[in-house]
Structure 1
Amino acid sequence: MTSQVSAGQLGVEKPEKAEKPAKPPARPRKSQGQWLIDGTTPLNHPEEVKADDPGLAVKQRVIEQYATAGFDAITPDDLAPRLKWCGIYTQRRQDLGGELTGQLSDAELQDKYFMMRVRFDGGIATPEQFRTVGEISQEFARSTADFTDRQNIQLHWIEIENVPEIWNRLDSVGLSTLLGCGDVPRVILGSPVAGIAADELIDATPAIRRIQHELLPREEFHNLPRKFKSAISGNPRQDITHEIQDLAFIGVNHPEHGPGFDVYVGGGLSTNPMIAQRLGVWVPLEQVPDVWAGVVRIFRDYGYRRLRNRARLKFLVADWGIEKFREVLENDYLHTKLIDGPAAPPAPRYRDHLGVHPQKDGKFYVGVKPTVGHTTGEQLVAIANVADQFGITRIRTTVDKELLFLDVAAEDVTRLQEALTDIGLFAHPSEFRRGIVSCTGLEFCKLAHVTTKSRAIELVDDLEERLGDLDVPLKISLNGCPNSCARTQIADIGLKGQTVTDADGNRVEGFQVHLGGAIGLNPDFGRKLRGHKVTSVELGDYVYRLVNKYKQQRTDGEQFRDWVLRAEEADLQ
């Protein structure tokens, strides 16, 4: 071992010790707008608006003023953001192309019509509710209606003058648009077969209902840094996309305590995608609402409010780490320790509920799909009529934009499927139709660059005509902008809309390509083909070529995303 020898021991004159330069004073920490650290003084205009007047206060102004005075009477801060708290916001002008997105302000892009979002917490619906929404669609929304991947129904072309009447009709059947948008807890996702599936671990419906009726109305949850997405399912299919939620509870069996929930926090997509992390706890059914409220309060008190693009729970979880997040939740919000719990095993098979499945009571549920969730007011009424014809009183919506008809007698299954096929709902769709997802796109969205929904329908028709079907699942996502409402990063083929340059140098609608994303077994955001863009005109040929390459090169049992991750770049172009 070499010993340390000083300069003095070597007879060398020791130089005078130079004075260390004084350390510059540490720069003060920049405020992130975290209420419990930085105080509640607003740091931007959206926060000022929320501090000035609660979002839901605008509801009464709609009823008493705007419905009479009309669109031009709505004050700018009520128009955006407060009306979002009521589940409505302006849609895009029809005469403005995607090349103007990001070039014009929101006020310049918006029309005098609204999108309206009707909540279906847990996906729970009745034929009477569908009939009412269908009639509203026909009378007030130019017969538009779309099922969303958050189990809601969205209407378009809504005029402010008709909103109070629409609210009254929805209220008469137990539906609401309140808290459908805005910086609030959005609709609570739930298993569409809660309480009836033969393979269910635990029915989460009581927890969803308690959150919906007891917690959501509280004003303390109506001013969050931004939106908050949560989901609860006790089904082993894990049918709520828990990996990309701010907060999710999925069913798991504890070796000592029995059925309960595994908890995930901090998931989300958009421009900074993150997979949710396990808290490492087991939560019993009766404690779910308390844990839900505790996590929302952490987000309210510690979430970043200064910059809107960082005002999501996932950024706080990433910065804190899961251990600190659990510690703060237990010590400061729940005031009790949570039980350590096992991870729920992954669900590698289909998570959707298409087809015919047994219920625990001996009856069956039937799952069908409208292509990309697109429907009309007339079709909603027809759905209600078919349900009435077969004595069905319970319908469910799903995160895959399906519809489920519960409590079907064995002798009625085939006839029900035939009746649903007659109105455009497919019980046995091709894998292309089964796995296609799109956002609203340029037709109505002010953030979009490209048309998506009609293009997705055309793409499915084209692939079925040219390829027939596929023998493995294939998720295709068309998104109009980078925000990933259609879950681009977790699709087998993710298509992110943007303006691109074609071979002739023209600026046209197109897509950036993202391949091999997945949730479930080995969740991952897949492979982005940097610099590879496809024009909308080329889209059908590109997907056809890509699927054919997969069919030619795959090994036995190889899924599409596994082939993508090993394929040569040229084969993916």
Structure 2
Amino acid sequence: MTTPASRHHKRPRGEGQWALGYREPLNKNEENKKNDDGLNVRQRIIDVYSKAGFDSIDPADLRGRMRWYGLYTQRKPGIDGGKTAILEPEELDDRYFMLRVRIDGGQLSLEQLRVIADLANEYGRGTADVTDRQNIQLHWIEIEAVPDIWARLEAVGLSTTEACGDTPRVILGCPLAGIDTGEVIDGTAQIREVHDRFIGDPAYSNLPRKFKTAISGCPASCTVHEINDVAFVGVELPTGEKGFDLWVGGGLSTNPMLAKRLGVFVRPDQVADVYGGVIGIFRDYGYRRLRHRARIKFLVNDWGVEKFREVLETEYIKEPLPDGPAPELPRGGRRDHVGVYPQQDGNFYVGFAPRVGRLDGDKLHLIADLAERHGSTRVRTTVEQKMVILDVAPDQVDSLTRELEAADLQVNASTFRRQTMACTGIEFCKLAIVETKATASDLIDELERRLPDFKDPLTINVNGCPNSCARIQTADIGLKGQLVVNERGEQVEGFQIHLGGSLGVNAGFGRKVRGLKTTAEGLPDYVERVVTNFEAQKKDGETFADWVQRADDADLK
């Protein structure tokens, strides 16, 4: 018989770290990955599932390995948020998929944009949402259509490989890489090299969990390097040599942490090797026992930056990295690229704001047509669910702006249109508890009507569950979807409110005021009230996040 004392002295299983000899899977996800690499599902989709239909899909592929190619089953319509955590996955699954198209660096040619638009219209009931990681997501995809979709995406240099799953996901980059007048360094070549060396490589296709990357020299720090697993941030040495500062271990979800600087200077030609070292550490030393502790942020937090740097230099890249400077603080205000601004070459870029990233195939075609008609061949997606048209000649700017705005793609956008984001929400997501896109879109309309003169930067991020795909903890007003009780005693959709989160100068997570919640219906009233209090009380130059730190609880309610 095992007594409590003898149980206590058994050899602990550790955190499931491969490098320490723990190769046996300690949960179902790890078992699935050991049984068959996620990358191998591609051939089964082409040869078997697309021909035999939805019912032929192995459950381990359906809810696991298909993510390695950007495929998640959608939420079955009509299941309310109260059942999200109660039902089994097969009860939540619809027979349709969300398909995520990777857009590394947010870079799209018009040909690529038009192919996505065609696929959205032919196979996705028109759906096409720009995400806050620069991807475009289609919905309503049937398994039978997937091989044709892949063939057409790959013909123009796009793919869905490792767009989801425990893999190196899309690489964020500044949409203005190579053209921004204030850019520290252009990271385009580094994004391409990392993509070509590591994406789809079986050596890195079984990570403990997802792995998010940013590579940028943007003066506005638009790729939110502070909340990525690994980020390379443009810096310049006193000698004038340019390269990157390395950050590791950022991430939000239910246990948010800001990334930490390793304090090293990475030359442009070293970025891919250093990336390989960081992702190698994650693969080998990352925690695999518990899913909720399997992100690299927990390892970085436990090791500290000195140990992480030492292991990186001695075990992985086999050379010391020199100390380097911290990046300049982001230029003030907004970290997006909405509006009209000059490029290095005398042309202009025109950034515009779709409503919370919600577009459709026809709108994507229209964007491509407008860009082409005004002399541009390149568009970009941003990490704020917005888009940018590059290379617009000075005499074309006004016409392009007018035509975009006529299609409700605002260039001269209000703060609320420009800085409100929303995740997918209960419409399609199996984790969601509340609706997000329409709620956020209606909120924008109401706030523009009620507060037409409000001009300060203010981010409002709307999330359908606690997982923070829409980055609620780093928003001025972060809204976490949950069911709440209204004044009539009914359980309805609503939000827990986080206030005063920010990145950049005073990076920190939003303040939770005890009991601060709102119904979805009461959301416009709440935001109007707190924004009005801020306007009445703010000091010269004070941001909303700064005000929240000193405001009375009563003024935040």
TM-score by structure 2 length?
Answer: 0.97
Between the aligned partners of 1:132 and 1:540, the Cα distance in structure 2 is: 38
Q: Find out whether 1:499 has 2:480 as its counterpart.
A: no
C-alpha distance in structure 2 between counterparts of 1:127 and 1:102, whole Å: 41
Find the counterpart in structure 1 of residue 13 from structure 2. 30
Superposition pairs of residues 76-95 of structure 1, within 5 angstroms: 76-95=59-78
RMSD after superposition:
1.4
Residue equivalent to 2:545: 561
Report the residue type matching 1:512 in the other structure: Q
Helix, strand or coil: the match of 2:498? Answer: strand
State the alpha-carbon separation in 1 of the partners of residues 275 and 7 from structure 2. Answer: 44
Q: State the shift of 1:129 in Å.
A: 1.1
Tell me which residue corresponds to 1:14.
none
Paired letter, 2:405: T
Cα displacement string for residues 486-536 of structure 1 (whole angstroms, at most 9, x for unaligned residues): 000000001100011122221111100100000011100021122221111
Structure 2: 5+ residue stretches without partners: none
* 8 Å contact kept, 2:219–2:331: no
Corresponding residue to 2:54 among 55, 60, 71: 71
Q: Name the residue aligned to 1:451.
A: 435
Q: 1:25 to 1:170 in 2, by over 3 A?
A: closer
What's 2:249 paired with? 266
| Contact 1:497–1:509, Cα closer than 8 Å, also in 2 | yes
1:171-207 residue CA offsets vs partner (Å, 9 max, x unmatched) = 1111111110000000000111111111111111111
2:446 alignment partner, SS class: helix
The list of structure 1 runs, each at least 4 consecutive aligned residues, that deviate by more than 4 angstroms after superposition, is 22-27
| 2:235 pairs with 1:245 | no
- Match in the other structure for 2:213: 230
Contact conserved, 1:354 with 1:367, CA < 8 A, in 2? yes
The answer to whether the 8 Å contact 1:348/1:521 transfers is no
How far does residue 404 in structure 1 lie from its aligned partner after superposition?
1.1
Letter in 1 for 2:384: D
Match of 2:327 in 1: 344
> Structure 1 residue 304 and structure 2 residue 298: aligned?
no
Structure 1 distance, partners of 2:7, 2:411, is 69
Question: Which stretch shifts more, 288-297 or 524-533?
Answer: 524-533
Q: 1:24 to 1:306 in 2, by over 3 A?
A: closer
Q: How far does residue 348 in structure 1 lie from its aligned partner after superposition? A: 4.5
Give me the whole-angstrom Cα distance separating, in 2, the residues matched to 1:261 and 1:26. 47
1:216 Cα offset (Å):
1.6
Amino acid aligned to 1:535: T
2:173 is aligned with 1:200: no
Do residues 353 (structure 1) and 337 (structure 2) align?
Answer: yes
Sort the Cα spacing of 1:505 and 1:341 in 2 relative to 1 into closer, same or farther, 3 A: same
Post-superposition shift, 1:423?
2.1
Q: Does 1:365 align with 2:349?
A: yes
Q: Trace 1:92-491 onto structure 2 (pairs within 5 A).
A: 92-256=75-239, 258-349=241-332, 350-491=334-475
Does the residue aligned with 2:97 lie in a helix, a strand or coil?
strand
| Cα distance change on mapping 1:506 and 1:283 into 2, 3 Å | same
- Provide the C-alpha distance between the structure 2 equivalents of 1:354 and 1:451, rounded to a whole number of angstroms: 26
What letter is aligned with 1:470? F
Q: How many residues align?
A: 552
Preserved contact between residue 414 and residue 455 of structure 2 (Cα < 8 Å): no
8 Å contact from structure 1 (residues 430, 469) kept in 2: no
Amino acid at match of 2:489: G
Task: Output the amino acid matched with 1:218.
Answer: D
2:128 is paired with a residue whose SS is: strand
Shift of 1:323: 0.4
Counting only pairs closer than 5 Å after superposition, residues 4-43 of structure 1 correspond to structure 2 as: 28-43=11-26
Q: What letter is aligned with 1:204?
A: G
State the alpha-carbon separation in 1 of the partners of residues 104 and 395 from structure 2.
31
**Partner amino acid, structure 2, of 1:567:** A
Alignment-mate amino acid for residue 462 of structure 1: E
Distance in 1 (alpha carbons) for counterparts of 2:235 and 2:219: 8
Distance in 2 separating the partners of 1:37 and 1:266:
20
**Number of the residue aligned with 1:529:** 513
- Matched residue of 1:271: which SS? coil
Contact 1:151–1:398 (CA under 8 A) maintained in structure 2:
yes
C-alpha contact 2:161 2:200 (8 A) present in aligned 1: no
AA matched with 1:80? R
Q: Deviations over 1:272-306 (max 9, x none)?
A: 00000000011111101111110000000000001
Distance 1:529 1:106 in 2: 34
Determine if contact 1:441/1:452 at 8 Å carries over to the other structure.
yes
Deviation of 1:464 (Å): 0.4
Q: Structure 1: any 5+ residue segments left out of the alignment?
A: 1-21
After TM superposition, give the deviation of residue 28 of structure 1 in Å.
3.2
> Any idea what the Cα deviations from partners look like across 1:443-467, whole Å, max 9, x if unmatched?
0111111000100000000000111
Asked whether the equivalents of residues 432 and 469 of structure 1 are also in contact (C-alpha less than 8 Å), the reply is no
Cα 1:426–1:27, aligned 2, differ >3 Å: closer, same or farther? same
**Aligned partners of 2:527 and 2:93: how far apart in 1?**
33
Q: Is the 8 A contact 2:166 2:206 kept in 1?
A: yes
2:169 match: secondary structure: strand
Indicate conservation of the 8 Å contact 1:122/1:205, yes or no.
yes
CA distance in 1, matches of 2:153, 2:349: 26
Q: Is the 8 A contact 2:228 2:250 kept in 1?
A: yes
**Separation in 1, partners of 2:51, 2:13:** 46
**Residues 162, 200 of structure 2: 8 Å contact kept:** no
Q: 1:32 to 1:423 in 2, by over 3 A?
A: same
**CA displacement at 1:98 relative to structure 2:** 0.4
Contact 2:161 2:199 in 1 (8 A): no
- In structure 2, what is the equivalent of residue 549 of structure 1? 533
Alignment partner, residue 60 of structure 1:
43
Q: Distance in 1 between matches of 2:335 and 2:523?
A: 27
Tell me which residue corresponds to 1:519.
503
Letter in 2 for 1:402: K
Using the alignment, how far apart are the partners of 1:207 and 1:86 within structure 2? Answer: 23
What is the aligned-residue identity percentage?
55
